[in-house]
Amino acid sequence: MSRATLTLLTTIICLTSFAGTANAIEDDPVVVLVKETVGKGKPQTNHAPERTQIECYYYPSSNSLELSFFSNLGTVIVVLQNLTTGEVRDYVCDSSAGRMLMSVLPDAVYRMDITTGSGRSYYAIFSAGMEEED
């Protein structure tokens, strides 16, 4: 095989690999931070925080939101508020299924409030599909 052909083949393989990596990055989920709501009656303590039993991922390619539950929290109530349009949607899910999927609109800011069967509450504020501008 000639040196020119080998160089051309290597360049095509590298460009194809790079294009695949760029698409994979766009399809990767975005982690949405879920925080526990601190009530007025809770005492402040100085110890390591408990690991949150809920994780949330936003998938830009499908405009969907996934909640993953790491233990059985009972019935979970999710209130998803689109802060851009004012629309509010309520969801009820059994956490023993392990996960929950919801669709969201692109280019919007959301607030999500989660209440578990035991009364613990969590929240997250995130933007869906909004590009950062320089």
**Could you report the per-residue pLDDT of 83-132, keeping only the tens digit for each?**
999 999 999 999 999 999 999 999 999 999 999 998 999 999 999 877 65
Distance (Å, rounded) from C-alpha 90 to C-alpha 74? Answer: 17
Q: Which of 10-19, 75-84, 94-103 has the lowest mean pLDDT?
A: 10-19
| Residue whose structure tokens are 């669709």 | 103
- Asked if residue 45 belongs to a domain, the reply is no
Encode pLDDT of 49-59 as tens digits.
566 789 999 99
Domain count, the chain: 1
Residue 9 lies in a domain: no
Burial 13-43 (b: 16+ CB within 10 A, else e): eeeeeeeeeeeeeeeeeeebebebeeeeeee
How far, in Å, CA of 9 to CA of 97, rounded? 48
pLDDT tens digits, 38-51 = 766 555 555 555 66
- Asked whether residue 102 is domain-assigned, the answer is yes
Residue 76 has pLDDT above 60, yes or no: yes
Asked whether residue 71 is assigned to any structural domain, the reply reads yes
Q: Is residue 14 part of a domain?
A: no
Average pLDDT, the chain: 77
For residue 73, give its domain range. Answer: 29-37+52-128
Say if 85 falls within a structural domain. Answer: yes
Q: 126-129 contacts: CB < 8 A, separation 24 or more? A: 126/30, 126/32, 126/33, 126/58, 128/58, 128/60, 128/63, 128/65, 128/104, 129/60, 129/63, 129/105
Alpha-carbon gap, residue 56 to 70, rounded angstroms: 11
pLDDT of residue 100: 94
**Is residue 24 scored above 60 in pLDDT?**
no
| CATH number of the domain within which 107 lies | 2.60.40.3080
Distance CA 98, CA 83 (A): 27
